[in-house]
Amino acid sequence: MLTIFLISAVKVLIVFGAMLLVVAYMTLMERKVLGHMQVRFGPNRVGPFGLFQPVADGIKLFFKEDIIVPFANRIIYMLAPAVIVITALVSFAVIPFGDSVKILGHTIDLVVADVNVGILYLFAVSSLGVYGVVMGGWASNNKYSLLGSIRSSAQMISYELSLGLSIVGVLMIVGSLSLTQIVEAQSSVWFVLYQPLGFIIFLISAVAECSRTPFDLTECENELVAGYQTEYSSMKFGLYYLGEYAHILVVSSLAVSLFFGGWQGPLLPPILWFLIKVFAFIFFFIWIRATFPRFRYDQLMKFGWKVLFPLSLLNILLTAVGLILFSK
């Protein structure tokens, strides 16, 4: 029993430590990629090729003045950034990032917690992240912040519905809510070939869930200054950005696990395959930001309810018909 506990504790420390490191360097990756796409230099001053820029940014945020605005609800104002980070990090617990390995006679599954309702757990926990945004916007006692948080809650409700429905086809094919079993079921064919419509809906909804361009109406500077995080500074401001990038990492990992075979692939080690696929999705998120202009808010809501929601229901219907026809 003690051995199992120690193995689980070590896995948690390694995975979450690696996750924080990846999230920190995702900020550098985004700035570098955007720089090349916009024909300019990205960060290149701190360390060779600018590789120490995330470290410098972290130090800067720690030592900047920590301001708490007058008339703010201090407790909620301080808790809000932590909520969005914790929910994003904890969501990663059920995502398998490799096959099992043997160490000192112990077989260790490369997933923090292999539960049979992994998808349900992930959606339940990740959906709580909106509370961090709403709490921060309301507690700041700023009208722009409040408007940003209200927009965020409406946007997440709208697009989380189509996001959840987009993966129902995969669950119908596998017959399980375990992400480990979903990945193993793709040993011969990736589900993106069976569920192209579901994948497209998932991808668009995921971009909206992460409040990334062109769906970043929760913090658009031309209307709301900076939205829900307008009144935040120092490391609390940094935690909001840490949570945003951690959410992108979780969504990318989920897309890889659901539609692209997870860690499976020829020749290379499983973990390496997983990282290659995940970083391909992260690159796609950055590419989208450099390419498309922002929607109007009414266009955002209409697209979610009048386009993605009906298409996700249609995908479920087509999957059910296909399963009936091919099972005979």
CA 94 to chain centre: 13
Amino acid at 97: F
The DSSP-derived string for 114-146 is: --TTHHHHHHHHHTTHHHHHHHHHHHTT-HHHH
At CA 76, angle to CA 72 and CA 79, rounded to 5? 125
CA 250 to chain centre: 4
Q: In this model, does residue 103 exceed pLDDT 80?
A: no
Among 64-73, 119-128, 219-228, which stretch is predicted with the lowest mean pLDDT? 219-228
Residue 193: what pLDDT?
92
Place 192 in a pLDDT band, splitting at 50, 70 and 90. very high
Confirm if 285 and 248 have CB atoms less than 8 A apart: yes
Q: In this predicted model, which residue has the larger pLDDT, 1 or 42?
A: 42
Give me the numbers of helices (H) and strands (E) for the chain, helices first please: 15, 2
Residue 249: what pLDDT?
92
Give the β-pairing of 106-108 and 101-103: antiparallel
Q: In this model, does residue 285 exceed pLDDT 80?
A: yes
Place 221 in a pLDDT band, splitting at 50, 70 and 90. low
Place 197 in a pLDDT band, splitting at 50, 70 and 90. very high
Q: In this model, does residue 170 exceed pLDDT 90?
A: yes
Residue 223: what pLDDT?
63
What is the chain's mean pLDDT, rounded? 86
Q: In this model, does residue 310 exceed pLDDT 90?
A: yes
* Total length of the chain: 328
Residue 273: what pLDDT?
92
Cα separation, 102 vs 167, whole angstroms: 32
